[in-house]
Amino acid sequence: MTKKITTTIMVRAALLGAIAAVLMQFGLRMPIFPGFLSLDIGDLPALIGAITTGPLTGLLTLLIKNLINPIIFGTNTGGIGNFADFVMGAALILPIGIIFKKRKDNLGYIIGSAAGLVCLTIVASIMNYFVLIPLFSRIFMPMERILELAYAVNSNVTSLSTLILFAIIPFNLLKGTAVLILGFIIYKYLAK
């Protein structure tokens, strides 16, 4: 039984991860956010995996997506963007996967979604402030330039903390909400 479950999880995660890597390529640049933030629904397959098979499938889907994406499509961030995508995706997907595993109904999905959005907001704020943006600024682009790009589309951004408050948090909430709404629609279809 365990071998069958493990094989099912691996196969489903691999298939969903490949789909997610392709979906990640169809990101939209939004004029209200800096150009380095792209809205995509690449986390949707991980969400589907998490609610159909469990949180481990969702996590493995995110991992596969972010490992094969730069290999197939390349990267402009030296892997920092893919690492960020994995961390933020996990922050959103794991809470809903864990809660939905215990309560498989609409309320479980809604509670899991709320928990996922809260977790995503906290993780995105902390990781971008202390790790991701400082690392990117040391390797690729000075912090001043990052802030200039953000200020060009949002005059409230004057420092790293205001970048987090006025760009990173709203962007992740928008992306997370879009993925969760689409996921709910698909979940309702799969539930039938």
Tokens read off for 173: 């909430």
Task: Note whether 47 and 61 are within 8 A (CB).
Answer: no
Res. 13: pLDDT tops 60: yes
Task: Concatenate the DSSP letters of all residues of 33-88 into one string.
Answer: S-TT-EE--TTHHHHHHHHHT-HHHHHHHHHHHHHHHHHHH--SSTTHHHHHHHHH
**pTM for the whole thing?**
0.92
CATH number at residue 142: 1.10.1760.20
The whole-number pLDDT of residue 27 equals 87
Q: In the chain, how many domains are there?
A: 1
Res. 1: pLDDT tops 50: no
Per-residue pLDDT reduced to its tens digit, 66-91: 999 999 988 888 899 999 999 999 99
Task: Note whether 57 and 16 are within 8 A (CB).
Answer: yes
Tokens read off for 143: 């912090």
Domain that holds residue 91: 2-191
CA 58 to chain centre: 11
Per-residue pLDDT reduced to its tens digit, 109-156: 999 999 999 999 999 999 999 999 999 999 999 999 999 999 999 999
